[in-house]
């Protein structure tokens, strides 16, 4: 399955999966850095689709991604967002990151944070704007932590 077919397949697969729950919406899809971005518009069931700590959102991503792998798609990485939830969360984390970085800059003490992979990526990106700040991740799996330190 080539790139375009992969995008169409992922979009249709998610639409069909959501329709099983009675959510009949058109999914907007794009590709960014070899990741299929699937955007679900706002519905009355946003909280169900997102789930606690975005667990349902991650589960939807995993299901669609595994379907792509099974069908030997060219692109298998998927990002599902519901009603802009992930973008809003990234914006909030970016604001917090500015505060964490300011604290590390003023105290000189490193800071270790327990964040999921997506949130760690946001902090790494924000920190890349500062020449006197370094970030890296330590640990494995669910025990992985982000470290912010002054250079």
Amino acid 19: pLDDT: 92
* Number of structural domains found in the chain: 2
- Residue 49 tokens read as 């689709």
Long-range contacts formed by 127-136: CB under 8 A, 24+ apart = 127/97, 127/101, 130/101, 130/105, 132/105, 133/101, 133/104, 133/105
| pLDDT in the model for residue 75 | 85
pTM of the model: 0.74
For residue 75, the enclosing domain spans 3-83
CA gyration radius, the chain: 18
Low-confidence ranges of the chain (pLDDT < 70): none
| Last residue in a domain, options 83, 98, 129 | 83
Same structural domain, 55 and 33: yes
Do both 44 and 93 map to the same domain?
Answer: no
Q: What is the DSSP string of 14-68?
A: HHHHHHHTT---PPEEEEETTEEEEEEPP-TTHHHHH-GGGHHHHHHHHHHHHHH
Burial of 44 (0-12, 13-18, 19+ CB in 10 A): exposed
pLDDT of residue 76: 87
Shared-domain flag, residues 93 and 146: yes
Tens-place pLDDT, residues 103-142: 999 999 999 999 988 889 999 999 999 999 999 999 898 8
| Nearest residue to 1 via CA among 80, 75, 62, 58 | 75
- Do 7 and 77 fall within a single domain? yes
* 149 φ, ψ (degrees, to nearest 5): -145, 155
Strand partners, 149: 134
Same domain, residue pair 75 and 104: no
Between CA 101 and CA 108 the distance in angstroms is 10
For residue 72, the domain's CATH number is 3.30.300.20
Q: Do 36 and 75 belong together in one domain?
A: yes
pLDDT of residue 88: 92
């Amino acid at each position: 399955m080539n790139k375009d077919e992969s995008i169409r397949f992922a979009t249709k697969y998610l639409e069909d999966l959501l329709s099983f729950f009675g959510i009949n919406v058109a999914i907007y899809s794009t590709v960014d850095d070899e990741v299929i971005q699937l955007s679900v518009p706002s519905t009355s069931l946003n909280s169900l689709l997102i789930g606690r700590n975005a667990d349902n959102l991650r589960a939807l991503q995993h299901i669609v991604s595994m379907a792509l792998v099974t069908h030997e798609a060219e692109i298998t990485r998927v990002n599902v967002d519901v009603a802009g939830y992930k973008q809003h969360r990234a914006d909030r984390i970016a604001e917090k990151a500015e505060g964490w970085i300011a604290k590390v800059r003023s105290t000189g003490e490193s800071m270790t944070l327990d964040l999921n992979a997506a949130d760690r990526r946001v902090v790494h990106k924000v920190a890349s704007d500062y020449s006197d700040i370094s970030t890296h991740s330590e640990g494995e799996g669910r025990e992985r932590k982000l470290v912010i330190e002054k250079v």
